[in-house]
Copies of this chain bind each other. A is one copy, B any other.
Amino acid sequence: MDLELITIGTELLLGFVIDTNAADLARALASVGARVVRRSTVADDGPAIEREVRDALARTGFVVATGGLGPTRDDITKKVVAGIFDAPFELDREYLDVLRQRFERMGRGPMPEVNRTQAEIPRGAAVLPNRWGTAPGLWLEGPLGVVVLLPGVPREMRGLLEHELLPRLKARTGGDRARPVILSRTLRTTGTSESALAELLGPAEDRITPVTLAYLPSVAGVDLRLTSWSRPESEGTAALEAAVATLRPALGSHLYGEDEADLAAVVLAALAERGSKLAVAESCTGGMLSARITAIPGASRIFLGGVVAYHNDVKLRELEVPLDLLAEHGAVSGPVAEAMARGVGRRYAADASVAITGIAGPDGGTPEKPVGTVWLAARLGDTVRLTKVIYPFGREDVRARSAQAGLDLLRRLLQAA
């Protein structure tokens, strides 16, 4: 079943508000076999809404729209769509009572008169009760097709989606296990580029059809999303499993996990297996590496702590980096990264450690060490691995990529141990 999404709101269109409803809806609808084939956003403007809804109905006959159901002047979605269905408004006295009671229960005094319009329902429309706010959802159906109206407030939209829209769509498509659904899995890689992965996987890509492969690069690395399109659930699951089995060998050590896997959690799990404790020393990442690690619930069982050694005095005193190393090689160098990793390991009595020192910019670069130059060290017992990278995309990017690369260096060292 194909459908279109329309999100309505001037604030959305102008970019003052990020549209999270469209993504939430698309994912949930795909899970019950309803495929979003197009989505659009228009202002709170009668003619624009009418044209958009009519065009979408003409194409797919099924539209889900959010926004513009509130009680204020700029909320006109319901009126416009009722017009398309030639449905006059009728006051739903039962819903009006529900609304009045809700206002009283919340201790907000009597219901303001403007909210009365929210109990006016287009004739023939099914009311989708909203327990999370005042605007009911509506399901309108006629010769042109179906239009479902949901409120724009994300919390209310998600409530109606889960408790009203999805059950109705499931009932509509029946308990049909042969119903086509969209399924996907993600293979997460880091430490290599999109194009290098494409060269590795190119030949295999033909062997996974009809599963498709998308490359999603970010500061965390490159995610590979495998998608099975519109097939029965059991077939799709099997096709994805086969595709993963085909691609996995080619990825080798670049692969660190699947779906929502976090590299920090992967590293913590590997350390927990060995009974190892971790400490970190950071210069240019300035706490981001520690923050990544401590974002994982239960990190305190493995992570002892860290030193943010921003000033060189801190590297000297708190990490015991020898002054002559700093003088000879500079703070951004392999020897200093190694000394930082060993220093924090000694001070914090940690058998594993990671150290990062680099030039995040915008200032501080030299011809030999341009902005973006970062030295990373990972240590496990007496073994230290060092690597140098150059990230060209600015302070925020350098810092985020360095934290991920530091974790990756330790992951690879743990794998080899």
A residues lining the B interface (CB < 8 Å)? 10-20, 22-27, 30, 36-43, 48, 52, 70-74, 102, 105-108, 111-115, 132-133, 153, 155, 182, 184, 193-196, 198-199, 202, 205, 212-217, 225, 227, 280, 282, 284-295, 297-300, 303-311, 313-314, 317-318, 347-349, 361-363, 388-390, 392-397, 399
Contacts and interface: CB of A to CB of B under 8 A. Distances in A.
A390 B73 contact: no
Given A11-B214, A16-B225, 16 more contacts: A10-B227, A13-B36, A13-B37, A14-B26, A18-B20, A39-B41, A74-B215, A112-B196, A114-B198, A280-B308, A286-B295, A290-B290, A297-B362, A304-B311, A307-B307, A318-B318
A103 to B, nearest CB: 9
A356 to B, nearest CB: 12
Nearest to A395: B297
A-B pairs, top 10 by smallest CB distance, nearest first, are A286-B294, A287-B290, A15-B26, A15-B23, A287-B287, A287-B291, A112-B195, A40-B40, A15-B27, A305-B314
28 contacts: A10-B227, A11-B225, A15-B22, A15-B24, A15-B27, A16-B184, A16-B214, A16-B225, A19-B19, A19-B23, A22-B41, A40-B40, A70-B215, A108-B193, A133-B393, A155-B397, A280-B308, A286-B294, A287-B290, A287-B291, A287-B292, A287-B294, A287-B306, A295-B396, A295-B399, A300-B310, A303-B310, A305-B311
A30 B304 CA distance: 49
Given A112-B195, A314-B348, A287 B308 contact: yes
Quickly give the copy total for this chain: 2
Contact of A10 (B16, B195, B214, B303): B214
A371 to B, nearest CB: 11
Contacts of A74: 212-215
B23 A107 contact: no
Given A38-B40, A195-B114, A311 B300 contact: yes
Contacts of A305: 307-311, 314, 318
A215 B135 CA distance: 14
Contact of A18 (B23, B298, B314): B23
Contacts of A107: 388-390
Nearest to A287: B290
Contacts of A289: 287
A321 B149 CA distance: 50
A230 to B, nearest CB: 11
Contacts of A70: 194, 215
A38 B48 CA distance: 9
B294 A310 contact: yes
A112 B198 contact: yes
A303 B309 CA distance: 10
B311 A308 contact: no
A397 to B, nearest CB: 6
Given A108-B193, A291-B287, A310-B305, A114 B199 contact: yes
